[in-house]
A and B are shown apart, each in its own frame.
Chain A
Amino acid sequence: MKEYDGRIRLVFKDRPLAGHALARPAHEAARCAGAKGKYWEYHDRLFAEQPAFERADLLLYAGEVGLDRAEFARCLDERRFAADVEADVRQAVALGIMRTPTLLVNGRRIEGAPPLEEFRAIVEQALRERR
């Protein structure tokens, strides 16, 4: 992503799959972190630690990225971002996105994580089309 600085916008969307019981709290937790300015730090932590997403784990990671754990616990327990995660899921379902990851590169859909070289070629093509 670094090599494309300024030319790419990356938008993360929550698509917890139905069979993943621990995913939804993790997605809500990431948004709690985001509301306090720590979204990407927390996001990276979750990917590094998957699938350890019990409540105690989520609180531990919050502390590790420098968040106030008590405030974070309130956000998580009140499920402040449940509706936002659900909204992302609804949008994904409306687009027929049933597996993860699914990427949209200027609307072009890629299912699964492509090899780096293939992905770079797709991005380069999208950049050429916008010139």
Chain B
Amino acid sequence: MSRAPSPTPRSPRVYTIILACALVFVPAGAPAQVELTVAPFMAKGPADAPVTIVDFSDYQ
């Protein structure tokens, strides 16, 4: 009995969610609470580190 081939597994995309802190302000002046997705391979250092630095950058 033949089995249908299983689909190619997609790259791992397990995300954890963190919240941007209330110190971040949108131009209107209201505190922004935006859920930030984090790809595990794009994070370094312990998840419970006292300081988290989020770096929004452009390679170009």
Question: Which residues of A are interface residues toward B (Cβ below 8 A)?
Answer: 1, 4-17, 20, 22-23, 26-27, 30-32, 34-35, 37, 39-40, 46-47, 50-51, 53, 75, 80-81, 84, 87-88, 91-92, 94-97, 100-109, 123, 126-127, 130-131
- On chain A, the residues within 8 Å of B56 by CB distance are 13-15, 88, 92, 97, 100-104
Residues of B within 8 A of A6 (CB): 45-46, 49
Q: What's the least CB distance linking B59 to chain A, in Å? A: 4
Contacts of B41 in A (CB 8 A): 31, 34-35, 37, 39
Please give 10 more A-B residue pairs, beta carbons under 8 A apart, in addition to A8-B52, A96-B26, A106-B23: A8-B51, A9-B51, A13-B56, A14-B56, A47-B59, A94-B34, A103-B56, A107-B22, A108-B23, A127-B51
When C-beta atoms are compared, the residue in chain B nearest to A20 turns out to be B60
**B11 x A126 contact (CB < 8 A):** no
Among residues of B, the one whose C-beta sits closest to the C-beta of A23 is B60
